[in-house]
Amino acid sequence: MKMSDFFILHKKPISLLLLIILLGGGFAWSRLQTSLFPEITFPKIKIIADAGLQPVDKMMVLVTKPLENAVKQVPGLQYVRSTTSRGSCEISAFMNWDADIDLSQQRIESSIEQIKGALPPDVDITVQKMNPSILPVSGYTLGSHNKSPIELKQIATYIVKPFLSQVTGVSEIRVIGGRTKEYWLILDVQKMSALGITPDMVSNTLAQTNFIKSEGYLSAYKMLYLTVMNASVSTRDQLSELVISNNRKRVVQLKDIADVQINPGIEYTKINANGHEGVLIAVIKQPGANLISLSDAMSAKIASLQKILPTGVTIKPYYVQADFVNTAISSVSDCLWVGLILAIVVAIIFLRSAKASATILITIPVTLGLTLIILYTEGYTLNIMTLGAIAAAIGLIIDDAIVVVEQIHRTHEEHPDESTISLLHKAISYLLPAMIGSSISTMFIFIPFLMMRGWQGLISK
């Protein structure tokens, strides 16, 4: 039995199969994750060390060099690049392209942990692998005409950040800019000398306070109580009344030898929003989270957040990555509808057949549905690359559909007395080899891209 006979004799099961493909494509479309870029993990691991205000030369000797030596012990490493500045260094470890990046990250973290005792005690080290998930997917500006940069940063840290972290799919909320509240002590040397107070005494007292500590349990009257010592300092008055010395003759408090001031901390990043100092709120999504759903949920959350913010404080978006994805999806939809309309118009004008137009109308949704099912089962996402490929393939599908329908129509005009089955046999047998060769040629064009190495090869795959 020939292939054409099979499709003719089993029209109803094939029609049911096409309907299942359409329903499956709709289901896959509703479940596919969306993002701006493909989920690609590059073979690059970044190590960032923060050591406060450590000088550059000390930073190079005490932090950068030991970290470089630790990273070089990891197998599969190609080369290391580092940048050192005052108080910080950034090391980029480039691994082999066939290396397991997750395993390499664990090995680097293990090597750094082994030398951590030789590093300065106040060094903060973070290790991250490079992929699009570490980049913000949306950003907002927090501004006010009647709040200071210190107050704005406190609002962002204690109100905005916890509130937005409740959104499903959020990995991290970053607060950028603003000013940190600091207490400055202006010591009076003469008063300190008269009272016998040294700077070391002040430093030791400050180091031994501002804590909350459990002192154990206390049993009394058949009850068990948990005792807690609260020595935290949260206001300037509490800091001013801190006892520096008590020799049983006189109690010396901090306000007796110093002027306590509240000043903004030194910031190296300045943010301006609408001509005023502001704070940036960056949203980082979890790997695999749906970008469109996250963006919609975040917009609703921002609207609720605006109602609980203090008077005069506003939060506005300045970057929403989902807009680019929505634009790409809209472009693909426009391409699909325009292609369908043009194909139907061409079929009606040149072939003068409503059946030909119906054939084209059915072919494209079925092919698109099958494509979405494959994308869903293979774990791909809807991003600018997959959507662009779908948009380009729609034109090829329309072209092939018109060619096949035109050949059937032409065969019918040349042999008007033959049956439909015979016409289909002749048209398909005449056109099938050329169509297969054309499709295979299109597929072979992309084989060299799959063989490429480097980041170009990762994107192509």
Are 381 and 35 spatial neighbours (Cβ–Cβ below 8 Å)?
yes
Task: Tell whether the model's pLDDT for residue 287 goes beyond 60.
Answer: yes
Q: Write out the DSSP string of 215-267.
A: EEEEEETTEEEEEEEE----SHHHHHT-EEEE-SS-EEEHHHHEEEEEEEPP-
What's the whole-number average pLDDT of the chain? Answer: 81
CATH number at residue 214: 3.30.2090.10
- The pLDDT, as a whole number, for residue 236 is 84
> Which tops the pLDDT comparison, 259 or 220?
259
Task: Tell whether the model's pLDDT for residue 452 goes beyond 70.
Answer: no
AA letter at 192: M
> Which tops the pLDDT comparison, 244 or 459?
244
Q: Taking the model in full, what pTM does it have?
A: 0.67
Alpha helix locations (H) across 94-144?
Answer: 101-115
Task: Tell whether the model's pLDDT for residue 119 goes beyond 80.
Answer: yes
Instruction: pLDDT band for 353, please (50, 70, 90 cuts).
Output: low
Task: Tell whether the model's pLDDT for residue 445 goes beyond 80.
Answer: no
Task: Tell whether the model's pLDDT for residue 356 goes beyond 70.
Answer: no
Do 176 and 304 reside in the same domain of the chain? yes
CATH number at residue 406: 1.20.1640.10
Do 231 and 343 reside in the same domain of the chain? no
Task: Tell whether the model's pLDDT for residue 453 goes beyond 70.
Answer: no
Domain end marker among 264, 283, 302: 264
Task: Tell whether the model's pLDDT for residue 416 goes beyond 80.
Answer: no
The strand pair at 243-246 and 223-230 is best described as: unpaired
Task: Tell whether the model's pLDDT for residue 413 goes beyond 80.
Answer: no
Least confident of 262-266, 399-403, 451-455: 451-455
- The pLDDT, as a whole number, for residue 161 is 92
Report the domain count for the chain.
4
Do 101 and 124 reside in the same domain of the chain? yes
The tens digit of pLDDT for each residue in 357-388 reads 677 677 778 888 888 888 888 878 777 777 77
Do 378 and 455 reside in the same domain of the chain? yes
* 40 contacts: CB under 8 Å, gap ≥ 6: 131, 132, 455, 458, 459
Report the percent of the chain where pLDDT is more than 70: 89
Coil, strand or helix at 285: strand
Task: Tell whether the model's pLDDT for residue 11 goes beyond 60.
Answer: yes
* 223 contacts: CB under 8 Å, gap ≥ 6: none
Do 30 and 55 reside in the same domain of the chain? no
Least confident of 95-104, 152-161, 291-300, 409-418: 409-418
- Per-residue b/e over 341-355, b at no fewer than 16 CB within 10 Å? eebbebbeeebebee
- Distance CA(347)–CA(341), nearest Å, equals 10
Among 82, 97, 90, which residue's Cα sits nearest to residue 127? 90
Do 390 and 451 reside in the same domain of the chain? yes
- The pLDDT, as a whole number, for residue 121 is 81
Are 421 and 4 spatial neighbours (Cβ–Cβ below 8 Å)?
yes
The position carrying tokens 């118009």 is 345
Do 109 and 228 reside in the same domain of the chain? no
Average pLDDT over residues 143-154: 86
Are 262 and 182 spatial neighbours (Cβ–Cβ below 8 Å)?
yes
CATH number at residue 89: 3.30.70.1430
Report the percent of the chain where pLDDT is more than 90: 3
- The pLDDT, as a whole number, for residue 163 is 92
Average pLDDT over residues 322-339: 75
CATH number at residue 310: 3.30.70.1320
Do 387 and 442 reside in the same domain of the chain? yes
- The pLDDT, as a whole number, for residue 99 is 81
Domain end marker among 130, 145, 167: 130
Average pLDDT over residues 414-434: 74
- Distance CA(232)–CA(211), nearest Å, equals 5
The tens digit of pLDDT for each residue in 331-343 reads 777 776 776 677 6
Task: Tell whether the model's pLDDT for residue 407 goes beyond 80.
Answer: no
Do 247 and 142 reside in the same domain of the chain? no
Among 70, 79, 83, which residue's Cα sits nearest to residue 119? 70
Do 152 and 278 reside in the same domain of the chain? yes
Coil, strand or helix at 210: coil
* 407 contacts: CB under 8 Å, gap ≥ 6: 427, 430, 431
Instruction: pLDDT band for 301, please (50, 70, 90 cuts).
Output: very high
Alpha helix locations (H) across 246-353?
Answer: 254-257, 291-308, 322-346
Do 69 and 191 reside in the same domain of the chain? no
Instruction: pLDDT band for 459, please (50, 70, 90 cuts).
Output: low
CA atoms within a 13 Å half-sphere pointing along the CA-CB vector of 432: 9
The tens digit of pLDDT for each residue in 35-94 reads 766 767 678 889 888 887 788 888 888 888 988 888 888 888 888 888 888 888 898 888
Do 164 and 229 reside in the same domain of the chain? no
**Residues of the domain holding 148:** 137-180+267-320
